[in-house]
Chains A and B, each alone.
Chain A
Amino acid sequence: MNVNTRTFHKEYLSSLEASREVAEDIVPYWNSLGLNELIIGQMELCLVEVVNNVFEHAYCNNEGDKFEAKSYMSKTQNLIIEISDFGHSMPSCVLEELLSTDFVEPLADDPETWLQSKRGLKIIQELSDKLEYFSHQNRNTLKLQKSAS
């Protein structure tokens, strides 16, 4: 963590437990910023979902591939989280479809409603104020924003 600019920035290697490592590192940083418990809890969930997506989709469940986690407070008091990977990028249609769908209410007599796809991404979209995804020179970054005020 850069103490002078109060920016968290660290590299990790992909794995099934990487989301735990990132959360263990970054939650104390968020606590040090004085963020409230609810925001920290919601953003921890978003962070874990993003890191799991990196492992599962960008790196096809392959262990040992590099990704980066960055977090800071913007001048407008928004908490920013950026997770960057160097694997397979997410098709643009995934996010577009996400915006037009809602959580499916599971019905006891309709098994098709029980196992919803892209539930993790939907959670991220619901809990963050803004979600951006960009790819440049094999670097894919998912950027989340959450008002801290």
Chain B
Amino acid sequence: MQFDIIEKGQYTIIQINEGRFDAKLAPAFREQLEQIKGNIRDHLVLDLGEVRFMDSSGLGAVMGAYKMLRNTKISIVNPQKPITDLLKLTRMDKLILSHPTIEDALAPTA
């Protein structure tokens, strides 16, 4: 499974079970999101713990989710350093916050 979908209270967690979130994976992510968008809850959490590499296509897919789910809060959790660096370089960290754990992302103050 490339993705695991976990429903938890007011949250939907998408766990990316791939090492590379790139041009090859991005279309499958968009397709997955299209399939479940009607059921996504108030807060979408993207668990990128397995992702060691992300390129602009992966970033574009995440931004596509942000655009698609206008009234849904989106967070990234468990990012590895290359992902954190990419978000910072492209300034996407200003729009989509990252958290070290799912619990941190789900905390009321996050």
Partners in one complex: yes
Q: Which residues of A contact B (CB under 8 A)?
A: 16-17, 19-20, 23, 41, 44-45, 48-49, 52, 55, 103-108, 111, 114-116, 119-120, 122-123, 126-127
Q: Are the C-beta atoms of B63 and A103 separated by less than 8 Å?
A: no
Contact-size category for B: 20 to 34
Q: Is the interface of B mostly helix, strand, loop or mixed?
A: helix
Q: Are the C-beta atoms of A19 and B23 separated by less than 8 Å?
A: yes
Q: Are the C-beta atoms of B95 and A123 separated by less than 8 Å?
A: no
Q: Are the C-beta atoms of B56 and A16 separated by less than 8 Å?
A: no
C-alpha gap A5/B91 in the complex (Å): 40
Query: Which residue of chain A has the shortest Cβ distance to B57 in the bound complex?
Result: A52
Q: Are the C-beta atoms of A20 and B24 separated by less than 8 Å?
A: yes
C-alpha gap A52/B53 in the complex (Å): 15
Whether A19 contacts B22 in the complex (CB less than 8 A), given A45-B86, A119-B59, comes out as yes
Q: Are the C-beta atoms of A126 and B56 separated by less than 8 Å?
A: no
Q: How far is the CB of B8 from chain A (nearest CB, A)?
A: 24
Report 16 cross-chain contacts, Cβ distance below 8 Å, ordered by A residue: A16-B23, A19-B23, A20-B24, A41-B85, A55-B23, A103-B91, A104-B91, A106-B91, A106-B94, A106-B95, A111-B67, A115-B63, A119-B60, A120-B56, A123-B86, A123-B89
Decide if B5 is an interface residue (CB 8 Å cutoff). no
Q: Are the C-beta atoms of A16 and B24 separated by less than 8 Å?
A: yes
C-alpha gap A55/B89 in the complex (Å): 24
Residue in B23, B60, B82, B90 whose beta carbon sits within 8 Å of that of A41 in the complex: B82
Q: Are the C-beta atoms of B55 and A120 separated by less than 8 Å?
A: yes
Q: How far is the CB of B78 from chain A (nearest CB, A)?
A: 18
Whether A44 contacts B53 in the complex (CB less than 8 A), given A16-B24, A52-B23, A111-B67, comes out as yes
